Structure 1
Amino acid sequence: MRDVEVRLGRTRALAGVDLVVGAGERVAVVGSSGAGKSTLLRLLTGAVRPATGTVEVLGRDLAGLPPRELRRLRARVGTVHQHLDLVGALRVVHDVNAGRLGTWPTWRAALSLLRPQGVPEVAAALAEVGLADRLYDRTDRLSGGQQQRVAVARVLLQQPDLVLADEPASALDPALTDRTMVLLRDVAERRGGTLLASLHDPAVALRHCTRVVGLEQGRVVLDAPVPALTAADLAAFYGAPR
């Protein structure tokens, strides 16, 4: 991102953001509610367009990218959305399989709704998140934490080059939070890829990431490698008036 500004209506969500993330990094994006964390991640999928500045993802400038090329790029980006982006009326197998839709032709995606494709791979991904027995349950009958793990399983199945996770553990207990972060880190590392995660808990950032980027009112005010940070540093970041 170079000198990026994003406006949502009259609100300036990001302002003057310069950020370069290299392949293989595990970056935690931290900040208070409304700081711009979710907007920053949505910018990287092309769901939000910058008012000014440039955004490059996996070597491609998103500005003016044709729809077909953008679809191909998104197939290489796995996203765990804050609101999960699941279809509650579908079976879990279908919601997990959605991670592969970007690589399937339309006919196969349609067929999979009638007869799920690649069931062994879906079952394996669900087993990794502790939901091996939920393959054919309706997604909306799962708890919030279970649905969050379905969203993680979808990314595990996708095997992307870039993993974006927006509060991926907000509905999970501490043990499942750590397990989920390890899974997301591992799926990124399998392809030598990158993980960007917006995190509410700074302690989770210190345990699972290699770098911390702090946002305040849409601006980057902290950017440091984890070994250079302490819990006290992050506490000061959250508590300092700006």
Structure 2
Amino acid sequence: MITFENVSKVYPNGVKGLQNIDVTIEQGEFVAIIGLSGAGKSTFLRSINRLVPITEGDIRVDGKSVTKANKKELRLIRRQIGLISQSFNLVKRSTVQKNVLSGRLGYYGTWKSILGLFTKEDYERTKEALATVGLSDKLQTRSDQLSGGQQQRVSIARALVQQAPVILADEPVASLDPITTEKVMEDLKKINQEMGKTIVINLHSIPLARQYATRIIALKAGAIVFDGNAAALTDQRLEQIYGKAIFEEKAGEIDETERNSSF
């Protein structure tokens, strides 16, 4: 469970990244965060593991304060939170196996981490994670030899090996083609439904949010302006979130998606 209690974030230049956020995300939810660029989506997501420190309020994960945690406590909390980013964050010259195994580094001391002394169980976890995302045959492949979609699925496997109950995904499909996007989203849906992991994902695409999320939270100027399921996200609500001109563009995106899915 992730709890925001009166959370605000003001950047040094005066920009309000978050404004008085009070929200609880329950275990096992698939939550999509939507809104315009600059609405606060990444600030919201990255504040959960304190990659972005907040200015006011408190954020708790499984009852433990991320905001007030000391260095050791924060390290333990971050072990419970996987992160998938748009840029994949892989060591490109390393094998897929080594990149996935890096998800276990939080469980090792400094010297074992440096020397890469992983257990037999961790190697088995790596194989299982790669099988989950359909990349069993890429175990010893260098990561820079993979397509963008495959690299993103390696980063998903890394989060699985981490055994984190919470997975944060920051625009994970923004640079992928439509077919690969669907594969990655299906992987995340499978992980959510079959493993019970909580997924919090930033998305620019309204159709993807409607299709995959069990709950949608919309941000505007750092404040929550919508919190509900896909059925409640009406066109009128979307126009309020995005503004008329941008909503019409988004509506065209929705129409195009529905037209393509009919073939």
Per the TM alignment, residue 202 of structure 1 is displaced from its structure 2 partner at its CA by 0.9
State the structure with more CA Rg: 2
Structure-1 separation of matches of 2:46 and 2:96:
24
| Cross-structure match for 2:59 | 55
| Cross-structure match for 2:20 | 16
Q: How many residues align?
A: 242
Q: Which deviates more, 13-22 or 28-37?
A: 13-22
Report if aligned partners of 1:163, 1:184 keep a CA contact under 8 Å in 2.
no
**Of 80, 90, 98, which residue of structure 2 is paired with 1:94?**
98
**Of 185, 191, 198, which residue of structure 2 is paired with 1:187?**
191
Counterpart mapping for 1:50-129 below 5 A: 50-112=54-116, 118-129=122-133
Counterpart mapping for 1:1-242 below 5 A: 1-10=4-13, 11-112=15-116, 118-190=122-194, 192-230=196-234, 233-234=237-238, 237-240=241-244
Q: Which deviates more, 178-187 or 165-174?
A: 178-187
What does the per-residue CA deviation read over 1:25-50, in whole Å, with 9 as the maximum and x for residues that have no partner?
Answer: 21100011111111111100011111
Report if aligned partners of 1:163, 1:188 keep a CA contact under 8 Å in 2.
no
SS in 2 for 1:118: helix
* Structure 2: unaligned runs, 5 residues or longer: 247-263
Per the TM alignment, residue 74 of structure 1 is displaced from its structure 2 partner at its CA by 0.8
Structure-1 separation of matches of 2:105 and 2:35:
32
TM-score, normalised on structure 2?
0.81
Report if aligned partners of 1:94, 1:116 keep a CA contact under 8 Å in 2.
no
Report if aligned partners of 1:100, 1:158 keep a CA contact under 8 Å in 2.
yes
Question: Kindly, what percent of the aligned residue pairs are identical?
Answer: 38
Q: Which deviates more, 126-135 or 16-25?
A: 126-135
Structure-1 separation of matches of 2:234 and 2:225:
16
SS in 1 for 2:82: strand
Structure-2 separation of matches of 1:60 and 1:170:
32
What does the per-residue CA deviation read over 1:144-192, in whole Å, with 9 as the maximum and x for residues that have no partner?
Answer: 3322221112112223211111112223333332332232233344554
Report if aligned partners of 1:125, 1:154 keep a CA contact under 8 Å in 2.
yes
Structure-2 separation of matches of 1:64 and 1:78:
20
